[in-house]
A and B are shown apart, each in its own frame.
Chain A
Amino acid sequence: MLFNNLTYAIFIPVVFILYRIVPIRYRWALLLAVSYWFCAQLDIRFLLVLFIQSLFAYVFGILIDTAKTERARRRFTAGAAAELLGGLVIFKYLGFFTENLNALLYHLTPHGENFLQIPVPQLFVPIGISFYTLQVLGYILDVSRGKYRAEWHFGRFLLFASFFPQLISGPIGRGDKLLPQYRRLRKPNGRQISMGLKRMAWGYFKKLAIADVLAVTVNKIFGAPDIYIGLIFPASVLMYTIELYCDFSGYSDIAVGTAQLFGVELDQNFNTPYLSQNVREFWNRWHISLSGWFRDYLYIPLGGSHYGIPKRVRNTLIVMLTSGLWHGASWTFLFWGLLHGLYQSADVLITRTHGPKKVNEDYPKPVRILRTIVTFSLISFAWLFFRADSMKTALTFMKGTFTGIEDPIQYLKTFVICLDMPYMQMVWISIPVIILVIADFVSFMKKKEIVELVSAGRPAVRYTVYVLLLVGILLFSQKGVTAEFIYSGF
């Protein structure tokens, strides 16, 4: 069961009613049971892995908390990290590492003999493992640093690791924020319910009316790049840029909104990322929970921005390469991470060598707009490697983009032919995208979430918006297509 299945529309009201009936002291048990059932619906083996990882994290958390010496605490922390990351590596990266080791061995052995080939393990990848591993690892590190005490209630800890709205694709929560909420699960108030539903509706709009619709064209072009040429390549990358944002931020909105229905406040994961003026700012606005995790548990421990520019560049590159690898076991993800690392390093070098540090507001408006456009272009270009199934595909896109550019009229005509879509359909698809762009601009200018802005509006305006949002979901969504959330594959 995914958020965009019709069964989820039945599941949520049922759980909501049960939640209101169950006494406060057993609510954690209800949410845990529902979360485990949710996971088991996907695959019972996922549930087993989740439970084992949670169990280890729980035990290590208590051992760290009660460790008598600093040495023991460090040992337990290392043990927990090794266990948690070991699980992630085994399920997610073992195949990738083995394949590449085999390729290396093949090239190292004389005459390319392949007698040293290691069998590639064909393991299943438990859904959400990248997310809940980071969440519980963050908890372990926080307990180890003495930021807060370990959770002794086993059930509540299991809920912390498995709460169903964030299980598949986050947002990656922090123990100090979530565990106190699970200790006293209140009934949500009217505002929370109202905001939760609005957030979910906005998330569904982004996922169903934009991401899934754009995915049809994007998948077609990325699936067979050899039969296309010209402008369709950058256009499809642009479409993927919007698709990915709507898919993932849509998921996050649904997750945060769902959690609010149960009185749980999760962190926002997106904040108009494509209006950033540099790549570093982008990472403060995109997948905020992951960026925050890498900042707190990797970048800062490595030394952060202290100890000079070379070390800062090194740390940035390490973090972004790790982020790339976290997204998937493939060279394209690694390259994507490297590209982002280089962008940020270049930004550090440029800003440090050109006068005092400036904030965005220091630049004149035209320059700010230009910076936003350049940043958006760089990020879109990087998404090409993120989406491409191989480096070869990405190169095909880059080479193919310039084919026929010497004749601009024909170049445009070819684009229209490749798009293979009636003019009115292009207009139709553009409508929700334009709505999104306007919403993001307004949100960016007012420095407030669009859902909150609308909620604060006059009743006539806000109720019209709610009705039109629902109508938009019904009319613009792809019917009969249940496209998985992109990040559920990570």
Chain B
Amino acid sequence: MQRTEGNENFTRRRRVRRNTRLGSTLLKVAGVCFAAILVVLFLNWLYLQDGQNRYHELDKFGWIGEGYEPSYLSNVGSSHGAYGLDYSEIEAQGLRCFNFALPSQMFDQDLAVLQQFQEGLAPGGVMLIPISYFSFNDETVTEVEREGRATRYYQFVDPEYIPDYDWFVDLTTHRMPVLSGGYKLLLVPSHIIEQKKADREAEEARLSLHVLAAESEESAETADAEAENSDAEAAQESEEPDEFEQVGWDRFVRHFENKPDYFLPEREQQLRDLIAFCREKEVTPVLITMPFHRAYTDLIHEDFLETFDQEVDRIAQETGTNYYNYGMDERFRDNRALFGNADHLNEEGALYFTQLICSEIPEIREMLEQHGITP
């Protein structure tokens, strides 16, 4: 009897000891994990101190917040829309406009951005939906590039609107970007030192402003002269046919090579969803193809252009929207001065084109007239 009790006690003691050992092991594991997370959080904080690790192209969305006046004339789209439309002259007349476009942005991402900022769309406004030749396929070429572009929406769009939302991507690119930062983490110290140095220099410059002010007129004249010279040189360089046309060729290759099944049905559906969303918000959608230079469009096969026009016309007809194709517009296609490269307008071209559509596209013209704005 005593022996049995002794055995039971021994077994109990052994079990308690084993469980304590397991408990302390698990506690140590938790401690190590916690310490590792703290280190990563610190590195993440450090990483975010480096301004170069931010998505600067998204800065414009920071303006849309509480108290933001809704926009009457807006556009979505890729870089064609982002760089090809400039509403500054209309805004100067007091009407809020906004450019929602981002490089390589496709229809589903357009929709995500609009859903995120739906409060910023004024009923009765007009939404320009640029249709590029790659719009029914993809602007990006590689999967890595595609994923890279997709991650930027995690920075400013709510998860419910992000196409194919993945919490892991959210964690590693938005909440804890240091996890996907890779080698950029090594650059953080040098960037911070450079930034501090630049800040210090700016501060010193500010302190000796009165000295500089006296010299500024003289130096400004010199700088202007230098700038003019460099502009002239740049213009001359950009006029060299090979370079401009080479860029046109590169853009053509990027948009057309290795992309079979050019008209993907899911893209068409995304466009229809985008149009439907605009209607739901009482905004008039307008389909538009931006102007391109001959160095780009001449490379595209006629059959493709014909099919493209037919497809967009069909969608426009079925959705009851209007489509305006400026892709081959004679006012642009030979005028290199209006282009940054073969398929992107420059600042001057964007201003001119925006003015043009404000007077030529009835939907915009009428909306502007209602607000007493002369295009």
Q: Which residues of A contact B (CB under 8 A)?
A: 6, 187, 189-190, 193-194, 197, 422, 424-425, 427-429, 463, 466-468, 470-471, 474-475, 479-480
Q: In whole angstroms, what is the CA distance A95 to B18 when docked?
A: 53
Contact B186 A427 (CB under 8 A): yes
Q: In whole angstroms, what is the CA distance A479 to B180 when docked?
A: 6
Within 8 Å CB of B36, what residues of A?
A: 466-467, 470-471, 474
A-B contact pairs, 13 of them (CB 8 A): A6-B168, A189-B21, A422-B183, A424-B183, A424-B186, A428-B183, A428-B186, A463-B35, A471-B39, A471-B40, A475-B179, A480-B168, A480-B172
Assess whether B205 is interfacial by the CB under 8 Å rule: no
Contact B183 A193 (CB under 8 A): no
Question: What are the 3 A-B residue pairs with the smallest beta carbon separation, nearest first?
Answer: A428-B183, A190-B21, A470-B36
| A-contacting 9-mer, from B24-32, B116-124, B240-248, B350-358 | B24-32
Q: In whole angstroms, what is the CA distance A422 to B187 when docked?
A: 12
Contact B179 A474 (CB under 8 A): yes
Contact A467 B179 (CB under 8 A): no
Within 8 Å CB of B185, what residues of A?
A: 428, 475
Q: Chain B nearest CB: distance from A435 CB in Å?
A: 15
Contact A425 B183 (CB under 8 A): yes
Q: In whole angstroms, what is the CA distance A189 to B182 when docked?
A: 38
Contacts between chains A and B (CB distance < 8 A), count: 69
Within 8 Å CB of B172, what residues of A?
A: 479-480
Q: For residue B169, which residue of chain A has the nearest CB?
A: A480
Q: In whole angstroms, what is the CA distance A193 to B30 when docked?
A: 13
Q: For residue A201, which residue of chain B has the nearest CB?
A: B32
Q: Which residues of B contact A (CB under 8 A)?
A: 18, 21-22, 24-26, 28-29, 31-33, 35-36, 39-40, 43, 147, 166, 168-169, 172-173, 178-187
Q: In whole angstroms, what is the CA distance A125 to B323 when docked?
A: 53
In addition to A194-B29, A467-B32, 16 A-B residue pairs with Cβ atoms within 8 Å of each other are A6-B168, A190-B24, A193-B26, A424-B183, A424-B186, A424-B187, A428-B183, A428-B186, A466-B32, A470-B33, A475-B40, A475-B179, A475-B181, A480-B168, A480-B172, A480-B180
Q: Chain B nearest CB: distance from A228 CB in Å?
A: 17
Within 8 Å CB of B25, what residues of A?
A: 190, 193-194
Q: For residue A423, which residue of chain B has the nearest CB?
A: B183
Q: Chain B nearest CB: distance from A467 CB in Å?
A: 5
Q: Chain B nearest CB: distance from A46 CB in Å?
A: 27
Q: For residue B25, which residue of chain A has the nearest CB?
A: A190
Within 8 Å CB of A193, what residues of B?
A: 22, 25-26
Within 8 Å CB of B166, what residues of A?
A: 480
Q: In whole angstroms, what is the CA distance A468 to B178 when docked?
A: 15
Q: In whole angstroms, what is the CA distance A329 to B263 when docked?
A: 40
Contact (A427, B18) CB under 8 Å given A193-B25, A467-B39: no
Q: Chain A nearest CB: distance from B313 CB in Å?
A: 39
Q: Chain A nearest CB: distance from B152 CB in Å?
A: 14
Q: In whole angstroms, what is the CA distance A11 to B40 when docked?
A: 25
Q: In whole angstroms, what is the CA distance A221 to B29 when docked?
A: 40
Q: In whole angstroms, what is the CA distance A470 to B26 when docked?
A: 16
Q: Chain B nearest CB: distance from A236 CB in Å?
A: 18
Contact B18 A189 (CB under 8 A): yes
Contact A463 B32 (CB under 8 A): yes
Q: In whole angstroms, what is the CA distance A425 to B181 when docked?
A: 11
- Which one of A6, A187, A467, A471 lies within 8 Å of B18 (CB-CB)? A187
